[in-house]
Structure 1
Amino acid sequence: MKQDHLWNVAVYIRLSREDGNDESLSVENQRKIIGTFLEESFQGAWTLAGEFVDDGVTGTGAERPGFQRMLRAIEEGRVNCVVCKTLSRAFRNYADQGYFLESYFPRFGVRFISLGGPAVDSYLRPEAICGYEVPISGIMNDRYACRTSADVRNTLNMKRRRGEFIGAFAPYGYQKDMNCKGKLVIDKTAAEVVRNIFLWRAENVSCQEIARRLNFQGILAPSAYKRQSGLRYQNPKLEASRGLWSARTISQILNNPVYIGTMVQGRQRVVSYKIHDRKAVGPEEWFVVEHTHPPIVDRELFDQVNSLVQGKVKGKNSSQTRHLLSGLVYCGHCGQRMGRKTAKGHSYFACRRREGMECPGSSIREDQLEELICGLWEKLEEQDKGNYSVQRTQEEQLLRQKQKELERLKRIGDTLYLDWRTQVISDEEYGRVRQRWKERVQKLECWCEQQGIYGQEEVKKQPDILERSNLVRFVRGIVIGQKGEVALYLCAQNERREGSN
């Protein structure tokens, strides 16, 4: 061995969740064993280039944070020797083991040392890499990972079937029960937001408008709320969204049955224990368990909200033209949706059960219904304009207040800088106060920018009620009585208006 060869050693340590509480595999134990080896048994001059740890990470793939940092150090020339406790700490994948030991490390001139199971030193005993013991050990480590993965998957599926929550973070509106593992309890603060979302949507407020209202009120979106609550939640989209609500987030909440006490898990699964990519599975493979935790909204409200979406996708003819009132007209006797028929040049709505004499329900002409709806719509136009004007005035007043506060903060920033320049305050005090000042200014600027966009919007004219997209925002249901009486249930006012054809 050349005495003047200096080895830049990378210590690699890994512990996966499946290793449990095995003290012999703990991070600290691995660190002590490798440290003792370097001090007492390492052959050659060496210096520690770095320690790379993957704690709670499986070894079946190379996409491990610590392992990847070590590879970058190798490629940058800062590491030319890797030391680990055993082969299984570096590799649980037989194919990866062969690639790195026989191709990657030799290509970059890296000395690889495993202290046991089996002992390997690619510099002192390169023939061991090509022998039988290393490949056989790799196969056994690979099979062990396969069996462990199957055991873990079976255990998780058993918990899913029992309705135990196994996710890393509870859904928005809930918290993990600290006293009962696998159970959810209501987060009162977030649950109130969830209830408002469902109530607004039940009034036919769009998801985009709900998101706007929450942002205007300064309520954090679920991802930002988790971070603020002290959870170690990571999401690459968090910075881009700036903690604001979106229509997509609202839609996901409205469609999640977890809010009626039903646990739905297993919507995705990994391809294999080696390929960690996730793929969606069909509803028939989901784990659905009812009454596993306290509901935030009742089933009636949940079904009402989701029926709004379902009503929009029905009622198409062969030319894909959606009829104006399809899915909105109900029989006042049996409560079933009425079907649309055409006879003698007129379109009618009649109860589908009437033909089989199961229901004595009546029928009504479509043009008469449209006329009644238009009459009510005209009465509501003036009332809606007044309500909108009051709301916009309040929002504009609040926006002006926030803008004045922002101007005041900026003046304070100027004064703060002058105090620092004239040594009225120390560098430490300046740095601490300026950081808080900067965070407050950024938050206000973001809020004012967001609300300024809405403040610039002009008050739009009332939309045409005889367009399908506008009608479903106005009418929740139309009930036809046996004698032809008509009752309209309006979403916006959540009240019952009666009329007669």
Structure 2
Amino acid sequence: MARKSRRANVVQEKKEELQVFASIITQKQLATAAYARLSVEKENDESIQTQIELLHQYIQDHEEYKLVDTYVDDGYTGTDFDRPEFIRLMDDVRTGKIQAIIVKDLSRFGRNFIETGYYIETIFPCLNVRLISINDEFDSSRAEDRNSMVMPIKNMINEMYAKDASKKRVLSFEMHSQRGDMKIAKSIYGYYVDKEKNQLKVNLETAPIVQAIFRWYQMGKGTGDIVKRLKMLDIMTPFAYKATHEIEMEIPETDRWTGDRIKTILLNQSYIGSTVYGKRKAAKYRNMPEHHTDPSEWIIHENTHEAIVAEPDFEEVQERWEKRSDFMKESFRRGRSRWAGVEDSFPQKVKCMECGTTMTYMRYTNFGQSQGVRKGFYYCKEYDGKPGYCRQKVHEDLLKITVMDQIHHMIKVMCDKKEVLEKMKEGTCEKGELVSLRVKIQNMQYRLMKAEETSATLYENFATGLLDEQEYLALKEHYVQEKEKLTEGINQAQVRKRMVEKSIEEFLEVEKNLEQYLDDRSFNQKLIDKLVDKIFVSSKGMIEVRMKCSDVFQKVMEIME
């Protein structure tokens, strides 16, 4: 009877334990990303939407995955990993937001043999992330898939395919360029594309604008004056016209006529009826990024379409532009000689807070002094006719004082945090995220050890009759899931711990290099160049300094909290 009583008590205790952990025994879902990619050439006439639908359906059919986000790189080659959505995906992977990535096939993930293999064999196992390829029936969590010879061969084939396709595209482009029968992909301001005849046709709405720009320049108007006239007449920019009449895109608030746009129109040989090929080139199979080419490499075909500008007028504009360019270069050279020693302390760093424009640096001489003191100031050239809009000025000396004050304040704060961070790194500090992570990892490791010990005794209890078969199977399943959950939690905490340690090391490295300037209050151009990213100036007198290391600083502040 005593034997039965003890067994009954043990069974009752196990039943109560099962009830307590009932919520844990539910099936776990992995936070999953669907990644789709398609090159510029639509491979096999496949659409990006078809890929997305396939991925979503696969995730829907498999309960272990939970779709968190969809990442789409449409029009990006797979030969490198510098793709905006792929970069966003990896950022989410590193922060623990994504635990599994699903692609249609491995070529969608990447066509670079070495880097694709590095992600599969090194990066993803380290981050405890699964990569699933539907068509390849590949799952990186399976050792037999990772170690299989099939995957390296497939990755190598994918890279060879990409190189071969790139080579064919380049050779095809060069052949069609020589013959002059290249398919016209997009219109030019002043023309529209007749797709049936594959020819540029004069656009009666925008061609007169192009002609007016050429006439104004011949009359001696500079690009700045032409921009003002176009704004006054409320003429749509080339991008705005195309967005509203051809491709139905949203027009950004920053879109406006600029001197560079006028230059592009004035120098474009398309307006005298010529077609120019090869202004920009790229060849992935030669590891050659897209780049501007020398005019001597251009292929020019004359009289391919109706001219908007007469050739004599076009030649006159080119001569005027060449003379103007030479004059500006000579003026710039003389100006540099005259103002030697008076250099812009914040080149391309000072921004207008109202419109976002880079403020212009202007030098002047204060002749109130005995010999004249040469100084500088910044002003915003943007103006839309509204009183008080932009046009603000800020003196360079004021920026120097403000920026150096901000830099020394940042250095002081960093030095104050140094001791706490060093203690946190060494494990002698009692607070902070790093301490919490270490405690969390230790607790989970202890719970994992206990779960393994208890799991190891389950069969013995079943064999001796302390547990019946149903109880044994239920408890076994519970501890399997508990160990998986704890293992996953430990891996995630360790990844986060490494990221925190890296942030602390980066902070301490920056602090170590800056500590020498703590008591130096003088202006230091090297510190400006090294630390200052942007300076925003408001017409109301506000000055905001954005540092290059602000992300490192912010991360450490969050860690210490």
Fold match by TM threshold 0.5: yes
The answer to whether the 8 A contact 1:271-1:279 is kept is no
Superposition deviation, residue 137 in structure 1:
0.9
CA 1:3–1:191: 2 relative to 1, 3 Å: same
Deviates more, 1:289-298 or 1:98-107: 98-107
The answer for the alignment partner of 1:75 in structure 2 is 94
The alignment status of 1:262 with 2:274, answered yes or no, reads yes
The alignment status of 1:283 with 2:295, answered yes or no, reads yes
Q: Secondary structure at the residue paired with 1:99?
A: helix
Q: Secondary structure at the residue paired with 1:277?
A: strand
The answer for the alignment partner of 1:7 in structure 2 is 30
Superposition deviation, residue 52 in structure 1:
2.6
Superposition deviation, residue 168 in structure 1:
4.9
Superposition deviation, residue 254 in structure 1:
1.3
**Deviation readout 1:8-59 (Å, 9 max, x if unpaired):** 222222333434444xx5445545554564455x5x7332223333334322
CA distance in 2, matches of 1:450, 1:197: 28
Paired AA for residue 177 in structure 1: D
The alignment status of 1:139 with 2:151, answered yes or no, reads no
The answer for the alignment partner of 1:390 in structure 2 is none
The answer for the alignment partner of 2:140 in structure 1 is 122
CA 1:277–1:61: 2 relative to 1, 3 Å: same
CA 1:154–1:451: 2 relative to 1, 3 Å: farther
Matches within 5 A, 1:225-236: 225-231=241-247
CA distance in 2, matches of 1:313, 1:53: 43
**Deviation readout 1:316-349 (Å, 9 max, x if unpaired):** xxxx999xxxxxxxxxxxxxxxxxxxxxxxxxxx
- Pick from 78, 81, 93: which aligns with 1:62? 81
CA distance in 1, matches of 2:188, 2:387: 26
CA distance in 1, matches of 2:248, 2:146: 41
Q: Figure out how many residues of one structure are paired with residues of the other and give that number.
A: 317
- Pick from 187, 194, 200: which aligns with 2:216? 200
Q: Secondary structure at the residue paired with 1:197?
A: helix
The alignment status of 1:448 with 2:465, answered yes or no, reads no
- Pick from 160, 169, 172: which aligns with 1:155? 172
CA 1:312–1:57: 2 relative to 1, 3 Å: closer
Q: Percent identity?
A: 30
The answer for the alignment partner of 1:380 in structure 2 is none
CA 1:15–1:210: 2 relative to 1, 3 Å: closer
* TM-score (norm. length: structure 1): 0.56
The answer for the alignment partner of 2:309 in structure 1 is 297
**Deviation readout 1:82-135 (Å, 9 max, x if unpaired):** 122211121111122022112221222101111234x32122x22422332111
Deviates more, 1:183-192 or 1:203-212: 203-212
CA distance in 2, matches of 1:226, 1:19: 23
The alignment status of 1:46 with 2:69, answered yes or no, reads no
Superposition deviation, residue 194 in structure 1:
0.8
CA distance in 2, matches of 1:259, 1:168: 17
Matches within 5 A, 1:174-253: 174-181=191-198, 183-231=199-247, 239-240=253-254, 242-243=255-256, 245-253=257-265
The answer for the alignment partner of 2:120 in structure 1 is 101
CA distance in 2, matches of 1:91, 1:32: 20
CA distance in 1, matches of 2:388, 2:182: 38
The answer to whether the 8 A contact 2:173-2:182 is kept is no
CA 1:210–1:164: 2 relative to 1, 3 Å: farther
**Deviation readout 1:423-470 (Å, 9 max, x if unpaired):** xxxxxxxxxxxxxxxxxxxxxx9742399999xxxxxxxxxxxxxxxx
The answer to whether the 8 A contact 2:32-2:101 is kept is yes
CA 1:57–1:248: 2 relative to 1, 3 Å: closer
CA distance in 2, matches of 1:309, 1:13: 47
CA 1:146–1:300: 2 relative to 1, 3 Å: same
Superposition deviation, residue 313 in structure 1:
7.2
Superposition deviation, residue 7 in structure 1:
1.4
Paired AA for residue 101 in structure 1: I
CA distance in 1, matches of 2:286, 2:69: 27
Paired AA for residue 70 in structure 1: L
Paired AA for residue 224 in structure 1: A
Matches within 5 A, 1:478-489: none
CA distance in 2, matches of 1:201, 1:450: 29
The alignment status of 1:89 with 2:105, answered yes or no, reads no
CA distance in 1, matches of 2:152, 2:297: 38
Matches within 5 A, 1:382-393: none
Deviates more, 1:129-138 or 1:271-280: 271-280
CA distance in 2, matches of 1:133, 1:3: 36
CA distance in 2, matches of 1:17, 1:112: 24
The answer for the alignment partner of 2:534 in structure 1 is none
The answer to whether the 8 A contact 1:52-1:67 is kept is yes
Superposition deviation, residue 80 in structure 1:
0.4
Superposition deviation, residue 60 in structure 1:
1.8
CA distance in 2, matches of 1:450, 1:36: 57
The answer to whether the 8 A contact 1:17-1:57 is kept is yes
The answer for the alignment partner of 2:187 in structure 1 is 170
Q: Secondary structure at the residue paired with 2:276?
A: strand
Q: Secondary structure at the residue paired with 2:386?
A: helix
CA distance in 2, matches of 1:313, 1:81: 56
The answer to whether the 8 A contact 1:202-1:305 is kept is yes
The answer for the alignment partner of 1:333 in structure 2 is none
Superposition deviation, residue 294 in structure 1:
0.9
Q: Which runs of 5+ in 1 are unaligned?
A: 323-444, 455-501
Matches within 5 A, 1:12-51: 12-22=35-45, 25-27=46-48, 29-31=50-52, 33-34=54-55, 37-38=58-59, 42=62, 45-51=64-70
**Deviation readout 1:164-221 (Å, 9 max, x if unpaired):** 565653221111213223x211111211011111112222222222222112111122
CA distance in 1, matches of 2:267, 2:202: 18
CA distance in 1, matches of 2:300, 2:74: 32
Superposition deviation, residue 151 in structure 1:
1.2
Q: Secondary structure at the residue paired with 1:193?
A: helix
Q: Secondary structure at the residue paired with 2:104?
A: strand
CA-based RMSD of the aligned residues comes to 3.5
Q: Which runs of 5+ in 2 are unaligned?
A: 1-24, 335-381, 392-561
* TM-score (norm. length: structure 2): 0.50
Paired AA for residue 280 in structure 1: H
